[in-house]
Structure 1
Amino acid sequence: MPARALDRARESYQRGWAEQAKFRFPSAIRFLKRALVHTERADATPDRAELRARIMYTLGLCQGEISGMSVAVEAFEQARREIDTIPDVALRARLHGSVDGNQGLMVMRLGQPDQAVEWFSRYISYAEQEFQPGEPDSNLTQGLMSCLLNRGFAYAAVRKREPAIADLERVIKLGGEYELPQYYPFAVHALGNVHKQSGDLAEALRRYEEAERIFRADDQPERLARLQLDQAETMLMIGLSDEAGKHLDEALPMMRTQKFGQEIAEVEMFRASAALLDGELDLARRMAKASMRKLEKRGSTWWMMAALIELWAHAMQAKRVSNALVQKALVLSDHLAANQLVDEARLAKLLAARLEVRRGKLADGEELLRQLPGPRAVTPIDHRMQRRLVLAELALAKGNRRAALLHARKGLEELGQVRDQLGGLELVSATAVHGRQLGELAIQLALENGDARQMFVWLERTRAQAYRYEPLEDFENPELAERIVEVRGLGRDLMRAGLDGRPTAELRAKLSKAQREANRLGWNAQRWGRPRPVAGISEIVAELGERAMVSFVVSGGGIVAVVVSGGQVRLIRLGDAREALESAQKLHFDLNALAPDHLPPPLLEVIGGSARKQADRLDQLLIKPLTHLIGERELVMVPTGSLYAVPWGVLPRLHGRPVVTAPSATAWLAAAQSAKPKADRVLLVRGPSLQFAHGELDRLAAYHDRAAVLSGDDATAGKVLAHLDGADLVHVAAHGEHETENALFSRLELVDGPLFAHELGRLRKPPAHVVLAACSLALNRIRPGDEALGFAGAMLAGGTRTVVAAASKVGDEASAAAMADYHQALVAGAAPAVALAEAMAKDPFRRPFLCLGSG
């Protein structure tokens, strides 16, 4: 019957509409096509025409996602023809407005947000004319809010901050007035985009986290997937390429299951961008090409952004720069500019200019740079760094080394301004990747100049910037605390499952997901104050006294030492960097193998011989060339790369010598000038599963008769944290583990589960002197810019003056013996570095400890 056919059509339409709202486009298309079939059996009435129009424009939106713009436009035109048959003028206007809104949404998703604004504005104008505040039409109100929301997204995409915020705040206001809370998380998501495009990346992440909480609570995985794309882009803008990749990997399976079109192509594009940032050029090109093919097929202008990534990676791989490559960059720049992708167009022209400089056509490169205006307020930091890099390379090619260094300095100052706006340790340290090439250029120039003082200054400008910031008291974040408890519980469950021989794959996946969520929440959980000024040479000389400082740096394949000693600064070339760094890695491997307490003598001899060989090699490469400068002085070492894992006391020339390891001279100076601890408040902690822990802490308690002792059931994460706050000396005898994928989840194993580095930010006053026995939790994770992270790194950045930790694995018995000797020397009045040198000297290869910070 005709009437029944229309009812069935409405039912299928509603199911199709619900599916498209969840981004389930294939199933939505099936329901919508079924609805159209039902309408063909109904009588030709205005109700039928209205329903067919709604079906068609909804179908157009879904088909556009799958098949591209041309199919969508045809469906929209069919809907408009159907609408024109309706006699009711007001209804015709409303339906045409709905088509305008859907067409705007389709255009925006295809990479044309400026055109989308025009389509959305048409519907908004209609809705505002019809809107009656006293007696609002629910459908009209929701239509207006949806279009304001979408226009806010579009304004954000074209970096029009004020109108975007106005639209989104209006959505929030209308939602409150008319009890429509479902629009709130979308408005918050869009506000995150506004902050992202205006460069306030920390605030963008905070907004995204708020929206994410709601989407997760409401079980909206499709909305969450779209949000994760914007979160990943923001992470890339900060420099968190690893984290962005994991975020995208989490979103991709659901997108593939639901057969998303645009989003999958965007994931591939952002993955290409992450690979480019990490220097994985083959992967960057492969992912960019895959994204480009999908976007071109869909008719999305975003294919040009994928093409720019592919072209950039190609240019970095090219051994010879051809004219064709330059022209390709210029043509792409024109295409991007024609589509209002302003910053991307400038970046493509910057690439062309850099290629011209590389092939020696300096006048052409300079002319291209002259055509480019300066950066806008909203220009991303990576674009700014590329501009400074090209200007520096041009100046260098013209023989103006001073101008090249000036551009490098200004670029790093701009990067510092971005860093100053960020929150937690992970965010601050991640930005270094954007200044890596500028820093390398400046270091290379200083090395070529042979100017040791200039080299010292540039090292301090480019390395370990996270340690320059004064930590502030953090604010309570109940959700982060709850997530940490969840991670601790999952870790405990995983350990039990492993001991019981039960499958662990599902628990590992849950734990990994919970860690990522906690990490993202923790990015803004600790606030940082003003950065300390970079240490000057005169300050370092004054604080060193009779000690010497050695800063290592790798440049041009060689390793170099900058030595500050006796008031002088010297630059010493040490030879091949690869050989030294490989020896450091081999030594680390051997020391781990030597850690078990009772190795069979033949194995001990073989592994010990290998370790001594690597230690001798490092001694010859790194220390012997410096002996005339450092003599028998106590040392402050500022390592680079894998040298962070070297326990310096195993090197023959440093046997028994006090050595402090620091991330930078600036970080060391800040620690050295902080108040020296009195050892009035001493805390001794005994973790579970340590063979010699009971005897160890009993001996230490005899040295510190007023010490607080937490062991057994008292050694919980909560109690340990509470006692850490304000302590003078803390000794933790507990196993621990460094988390390679996420440094702030490095952990100490306590009776109720792990204590994470994340949680140290909750301390109002960090402990002054911390000893981490029986675990390798030193500065194990090294980011670009020698941003050294890990459990010890979190403590140093948080204000702890001295951390003693193992550079590699250490046996329980060896650790207990070393720590007894260490504390005995401490209570006798020795400084930490001196006490550790004496303790290590008795058996250096089985006591591979470092004194970090200040000794």
Structure 2
Amino acid sequence: MSSDARAPEAGTRDGLSGPLVPDAADQVLRQATVEPGRAYRRALELGEHARRGGDARSAAVCAHAAGVAAQQLGRIDDAIEQYRRAIRIAGPAGFVDVAARARASLAGSMLVRGRLAAALREIDGALADLSGVDAARALTQRAAILQLTGRPEDALADLRRAIPALRQAGDADWAAGALSNRSVLHIARRAFAAAEADLVLAGRLAAEHGLTLWSAYIEQNLGWLESNRGEIVNALGHFARSEQLFGQVGTQTGSLLVDRAEMLLSVRLIDEARVAADGAVGLHRRHRDQLHLPRAQLLLSTVALVQRDLAVAARSAEQALGGFGRLGDAGGVALARFARLQARYAIDPAAVTAGRARRAADELRATGWQVPALEARVLAGIIALRRGQLGAARLDLALAARARATGPAEVRIRGWLGEALLRSADGRPTAAHSAIDAGLRIVDRYQATLGATELRAHVSLHRGELARLGLRLAQEAGDARRMLALVERGRASALLFRRPRPPADPALSRDLADLRTTMREIDEARDEGRSSTALVARQVRLEDAIAGRTMQLPGALGPPRRLPRRRAELAAAFTGSTLVEFVEIGDRLHAVTVHDGVSRLHPLGAVETARRLLPQLSFALRRLARPHSTPARQEAAAAALRRMQGELDELLFGPIRDRLGDRPLIVVPSAGLHGLPWAALPTCRQRSVSVVPSATLWLEAAARNRPAGDRIVVAAGPGLPGAAQEAAVVAAQYPGARCLVGEDATAERVAAAGDGADILHIAAHGRLRSDNPYFSSLQLADGPLTLYDLERIDAPGHVVLAACETAQATVVAVDEVLGFAAMLLAQGTTSLVAPVVTVVDEAVVDLMRDYHRQLLVGEPPAQALATAQSRAAGRGLAAWAAGAGFVCMGAGIRPVFLRLTP
């Protein structure tokens, strides 16, 4: 779970000294926090020189400086040794002030090691021997310790005394640190204006005095502030600048990884959050940082729980609980106990009682954790409902529902879930639907603030429980129209926001070009048997930079589009066609049909049947399409295909076949059906079938009025037998078509030529990336053409991708779809033809020739594809199988209007 406050990086600015030692020692102490690597080496050299010369004071100051530098570099044991050396040298020599300053720094190291009582003893002892600016610095140190021991008011009191003294003394370094640490205390109290004021002032001091390391921490805290405000795009920008600044001084901080991971988790970028959380745990363990390790382990538990990696979730929660217990952190203990409870509930719901969840909620609320307290209260209500304890459930859910009007989006969403569950338990389904709608509107508004499509897609996980409750209620009532509205509200919703075109960004263009070069070099290295480890590391860095920049795009323009709900409007929207929208509710598959404006709900069968048959069907098609397969294998594949065709067709269309007639179909797959080659099913064969991520997106595509044009672009990528021939055959059918092959078919040229084209046809190798669909690509002469490249151009009107599996989609957050086809449709492409399976490119040449001929005579794309596939069947089973893997996506019933001169 993401937290509302965080512990500061205590001790990171320890031991800066005034002009109390000779110039060289004084200078290296000042340098220790600015350039720790150089300062550490210099301090050791100067310290040895001072020791040989009998200069105890300078030797002690240099040991202190070496400790500060070591701590900045994460070498805590080394820092402790250097601080103690400074104390041993300065104390017996009578330099009480030098020893006291080293004790203050030693307190910071004790803090990092999780030894809070020892840290407090050291800092109190130092304060007894310090005055003036040195005392103000020690107060700043003590404030960090007090916060971690659960005394935030005492910490604020120390900082109120310290900051004026530091500023009056002109100590910009420590003043910047004190202001930054105080901002964290303000954020914990949700006093955001006060936190921002402190950080702005601290940032000004750091910039004016060249304090790069403090600038990094200030940017990190600004990111945390914006994350707590819900301003995710701004938070990403601050975290990126913080990481850059930390890199400039050659240091890493696990807390930045944790902050970033918590923010990524809040928008449900789960895989990215897992990488950051794993990295933070590893970094803290290497540095033996017992202070910050439990927080990283707690976060790892939460991310693993969302990923259903239940063993890691339970183990990490247990480790975090032990760590927080050793620190005496009551709030951390409460969080870790709840994380452990959540993991146990996920493993075995019967093992967790409503009473235990209720006690967790009370403990969390008492220690100030309002969001997880609300989650625990909702969990208690759900458990009580399932066990028939209606009175207790009403009480729990009523308490949870109080949060629906205030606080961050996530709090209000959980509050409305509690209210919806309460109304449902009271037998008020209409009122429950109203509560569900209210919660979903908050999700919509939250999505609209995010510019990057993948951010909007993942954040919709927030709607999951609300939507599932609504679907269950609609199913129980047999309300097809309500179910359609609910499904459409969450299905591909990230694609339904109007947003500005990404601005020109030279840095992004450079990174995309570098990525293409790197990917090509990786392929070459692997072909030649050379190591590609360094190149892969460079690929990862470039992809992180590209994804990070696009996540900082401005938010959407206006509200998302919505499907009409009235019967007359639905009839007008789908005139002449039948909409079939598949829905998974639990382990059962359903279909909602819209025919002449009448919506009906149809139970179909087990989801597992479709999940089992779909990959087998795709495999059989690939086997049949292979030109050199043996007759025995061909016959076995054909027999298997006939059996699977019949079983799948009966599952998906048997109960609704009477409603379909011979009308064109608009098919909206559920999550498990996106890879289905629809033309292989008897009901869809020779029929106009348009496949689309959501019916709302289909309506948007169908409403686009593009004027007739003559910009035809055809391109062929390298390493694909038949691609150049296909490009030549297609281009020959269109007078004036631009054909890019060989070295001319670079990503930049193809993207530029396809910018706003009427038809864009690309024959190339396709690479799908399930880990980040936006790096799925088409392989061109100079490397990959990614979705990030295509997002920066005006979408072509009609697109044909003769590239393996480019109509496939990655489904995230239950029903959000990311992939080539979905993104192009969202950008403005009216229709698209591409395969959902691996294709045999030589067999596709004739299919594409027939397809474009039908377009030229005025057939809409969906019907043109059906005609071309039917003709392929006349050339044999292999040719039919090669063509059956293609689907038409988008508004396939809309003709491609062309203005061509013979």
TM-score (norm 2): 0.88
Matches within 5 A, 1:695-710: 695-710=725-740
Decide which of 501, 512, 528 is 1:473's aligned counterpart. 501
CA contact (8 A) 2:623 2:634 kept: no
| Structure 2 residue 101 is the aligned partner of structure 1 residue 62 | no
CA contact (8 A) 1:634 1:659 kept: yes
| Residue 89 of structure 1: aligned partner | none
Residues 373-424 of structure 1: per-residue CA shift (max 9 Å, x gap): 8338873434333332232222222222222222211111111111111111
Q: Which amino acid aligns with 1:98?
A: R
Decide which of 369, 374, 395 is 1:341's aligned counterpart. 369
| Structure 2 residue 122 is the aligned partner of structure 1 residue 94 | no
| Residue 846 of structure 1: aligned partner | 882
Secondary structure of 2:718's match? coil
Deviates most, 623-632 or 98-107 = 98-107
CA contact (8 A) 1:477 1:525 kept: no
Q: In the superposition, relative to structure 1, how do residues 95 and 750 fare at CA in structure 2: closer, same or farther (>3 Å)? A: same
Q: In the superposition, relative to structure 1, how do residues 507 and 603 fare at CA in structure 2: closer, same or farther (>3 Å)? A: farther
| Residue 780 of structure 1: aligned partner | 809
Matches within 5 A, 1:515-530: 515-525=543-553, 527-530=555-558
Q: Percent identity?
A: 30
The CA distance in 1 between the partners of 2:734 and 2:719, in whole Å, is 24
Secondary structure of 2:674's match? helix
Q: In the superposition, relative to structure 1, how do residues 620 and 597 fare at CA in structure 2: closer, same or farther (>3 Å)? A: same
Deviates most, 149-158 or 416-425 = 149-158
| Structure 2 residue 72 is the aligned partner of structure 1 residue 72 | no
Q: In the superposition, relative to structure 1, how do residues 611 and 248 fare at CA in structure 2: closer, same or farther (>3 Å)? A: farther
Decide which of 594, 597, 603 is 1:564's aligned counterpart. 594
The CA distance in 2 between the partners of 1:161 and 1:610, in whole Å, is 64
Q: Which amino acid aligns with 2:803?
A: A
Deviates most, 577-586 or 660-669 = 577-586
CA contact (8 A) 2:334 2:367 kept: no
Secondary structure of 2:176's match? helix
Decide which of 277, 281, 288 is 2:306's aligned counterpart. 277
Secondary structure of 1:654's match? coil
TM superposition shift of 1:642: 2.4
**Which stretches in structure 2 are left out of the alignment for 5+ residues?**
1-50, 873-878, 893-902
Q: Which amino acid aligns with 1:665?
A: A
| Residue 758 of structure 2: aligned partner | 728
| Residue 134 of structure 1: aligned partner | none
Decide which of 681, 697, 708 is 1:651's aligned counterpart. 681
TM superposition shift of 1:23: 3.1
| Structure 2 residue 160 is the aligned partner of structure 1 residue 121 | yes
Decide which of 778, 787, 794 is 2:823's aligned counterpart. 794
Q: In the superposition, relative to structure 1, how do residues 12 and 410 fare at CA in structure 2: closer, same or farther (>3 Å)? A: same
Secondary structure of 1:469's match? coil
| Residue 43 of structure 1: aligned partner | 93
The CA distance in 1 between the partners of 2:151 and 2:690, in whole Å, is 56
Q: Which amino acid aligns with 2:375?
A: L
CA contact (8 A) 1:727 1:768 kept: yes
CA contact (8 A) 2:704 2:830 kept: yes
The CA distance in 2 between the partners of 1:642 and 1:588, in whole Å, is 14
Q: In the superposition, relative to structure 1, how do residues 566 and 378 fare at CA in structure 2: closer, same or farther (>3 Å)? A: closer
CA contact (8 A) 2:590 2:605 kept: yes
| Structure 2 residue 225 is the aligned partner of structure 1 residue 194 | yes
| Residue 239 of structure 2: aligned partner | 208
Q: Which amino acid aligns with 1:500?
A: E
Matches within 5 A, 1:90-239: 92-108=131-147, 116-128=155-167, 130-131=168-169, 137=170, 140-180=171-211, 182-216=213-247, 218-223=248-253, 225-239=254-268
TM superposition shift of 1:53: 1.1
CA contact (8 A) 2:114 2:289 kept: no
TM superposition shift of 1:367: 3.0
Q: Which amino acid aligns with 1:356?
A: A
Secondary structure of 1:529's match? coil
| Residue 307 of structure 1: aligned partner | 337
Deviates most, 257-266 or 812-821 = 257-266
Matches within 5 A, 1:254-403: 254-300=283-329, 301-320=331-350, 325-371=353-399, 374-375=402-403, 379-403=407-431
TM superposition shift of 1:601: 3.2
| Structure 2 residue 832 is the aligned partner of structure 1 residue 814 | no
TM superposition shift of 1:3: 4.8
Secondary structure of 2:605's match? strand
CA contact (8 A) 1:464 1:785 kept: no
TM superposition shift of 1:614: 2.4
CA contact (8 A) 1:594 1:607 kept: yes
- How many equivalent residue pairs? 830
Q: Which amino acid aligns with 1:728?
A: D
Q: In the superposition, relative to structure 1, how do residues 601 and 694 fare at CA in structure 2: closer, same or farther (>3 Å)? A: same
The CA distance in 2 between the partners of 1:11 and 1:725, in whole Å, is 62
TM-score (norm 1): 0.92
Residues 556-589 of structure 1: per-residue CA shift (max 9 Å, x gap): 3210000111332211111111112221233234
| Structure 2 residue 788 is the aligned partner of structure 1 residue 737 | no
CA contact (8 A) 1:237 1:381 kept: no
The CA distance in 2 between the partners of 1:479 and 1:111, in whole Å, is 44
Q: Which amino acid aligns with 1:62?
A: S
TM superposition shift of 1:498: 1.0
TM superposition shift of 1:510: 3.2
Q: Which amino acid aligns with 2:857?
A: A
| Residue 87 of structure 1: aligned partner | none
Decide which of 709, 715, 718 is 2:745's aligned counterpart. 715
Secondary structure of 2:736's match? coil
The CA distance in 1 between the partners of 2:442 and 2:210, in whole Å, is 44
Secondary structure of 2:289's match? coil
CA contact (8 A) 2:740 2:750 kept: yes
Deviates most, 800-809 or 331-340 = 331-340
CA contact (8 A) 1:597 1:812 kept: no
Q: In the superposition, relative to structure 1, how do residues 791 and 118 fare at CA in structure 2: closer, same or farther (>3 Å)? A: farther
Q: Which amino acid aligns with 1:126?
A: A
| Structure 2 residue 795 is the aligned partner of structure 1 residue 766 | yes
The CA distance in 1 between the partners of 2:880 and 2:226, in whole Å, is 52
Residues 434-478 of structure 1: per-residue CA shift (max 9 Å, x gap): 111111111111111112112211111222111211232211233
